Amino acid sequence: MRVKLKRIVSIANQKGGVGKTTTAINMAAAIATKGHKVLVIDLDPQGNASTGLGISPDNREYTAYDVLVDGIDINKAIIKTHVKNLSLITSNTDLSSADAELMNDKGRLIKLRNAIEKVKEFDYVFIDCPPSLNLLTINAFAASDSVLVPLQSEFYALEGLSQLILTVREVREALGTSLFIDGVVLTMFDKRVKLAQQVEVDVRDNLKDLVYKTIIPRTVRLSEAPSYGETILEYDASGRGAEAYVSLGAEFLIRDKVKQR
């Protein structure tokens, strides 16, 4: 049997509210449900991925902050979620001071990369990035094989993408890694809105095969699920949101397989 490779993916876009966390949680859950062992790393001080996976702030004993700043063994910070095959490293507001606290640390760009090397048992690691191209996001990029970019289906969807692409290139060159943009996924798509369809055409024209075929629809169910600490596969298993994230997960796995050949 082929030994599975650990694949590390940053879910990033410096814009807030574009669907990063929703995508991280639900795509990870969809892939875990297929039987792959998946780890989500919450790297946003807002801790939305942690909350969305049902881990309240009181239950976050060791967080991403402890791993990055205090250098605790990353394996101590990994907790199991209620979803089979899905584990999590939580975060909380402590993480907002990581940037400043690591300022004089020579290895500050590769804190996460060095830590993740000690993680063994996972097939896929998804890092939910903060809405900024700051030190945390650079750490995520430095640790990752690829970046997945959620784009909100709105007029300014492509704005900011060139800056993100530049940052990916800078990290790749500075650290000698082979980081690449694995894909772009359109989120919060409302097919009744004519503009959304124009945005899709525009994004596909510009980014071609980089754009996932799967589009995530705008549905209130996706925004309700996190307040129950549930993924969409539990909260509304037969709805459009779950269907879309299952499809996105399957598409991700197919792309990944092609790349590993």
Ligand X SMILES: Nc1ncnc2c1ncn2[C@@H]1O[C@H](COP(=O)(O)OP(=O)(O)O)[C@@H](O)[C@H]1O
Q: Which of 216, 233, 246, 248 binds ligand X (CB under 6 A)?
A: 216
Does residue 8 interact with ligand X by CB under 6 A? Answer: no
Smallest distance from ligand X to CB 40, Å: 12
Does residue 41 interact with ligand X by CB under 6 A? Answer: no
Instruction: Count CB-CB contacts under 10 A for residue 186.
Output: 23
Q: Which of 4, 5, 17, 213 binds ligand X (CB under 6 A)?
A: 17
Smallest distance from ligand X to CB 199, Å: 14
From the list ligand X, Mg ion, none, partner contacted by residue 163 (C-beta under 5 to 8 A by kind): none
* CB under 8 A, 24+ apart: contacts of 97-101: 98/65, 98/68, 98/69, 98/135, 98/136, 99/134, 99/135, 99/136, 101/69
Residues 110-149 that bind ligand X (CB under 6 A): 131
Q: Which of 4, 5, 16, 206 binds ligand X (CB under 6 A)?
A: 16
Q: Number of C-alpha atoms within 13 angstroms, CB side, residue 142?
A: 20
Rounded Cα gap, residues 214 and 212, in angstroms: 5
Nearer Cβ to ligand X (111/130):
130
Does residue 223 interact with ligand X by CB under 6 A? Answer: yes
Closest CA to 65 of 39, 105, 102, 10: 102
Q: Which of 14, 21, 81, 87 binds Mg ion (CB under 5 A)?
A: 21
Q: Which of 10, 14, 22, 87 binds ligand X (CB under 6 A)?
A: 22
Contacts of 30 (CB under 8 A, 6+ apart): 233, 245, 246, 248, 249, 250
What does the per-residue mask of binding to ligand X show for 62-101, with x meaning CB under 6 A? ----------------------------------------
Instruction: Give the Cα-Cα-Cα angle 89, 124, 142 (nearest 5 degrees).
Output: 70
> Contact at 8 Å (CB) between 20 and 13?
yes
Does residue 20 interact with Mg ion by CB under 5 A? Answer: yes
Rounded Cα gap, residues 185 and 216, in angstroms: 8
Alpha helices, H only, 69-191: 74-77, 98-101, 111-116, 135-143, 161-175
Q: Please choose, out of 17-25, 95-103, 115-123, 172-180, the segment that lies near Mg ion by the rule CB under 5 A.
A: 17-25
Catalog residues that contact Mg ion under the rule CB under 5 A: 20-21, 48
Catalog residues that contact ligand X under the rule CB under 6 A: 16-22, 48, 131, 187-188, 216, 218-219, 222-223, 226
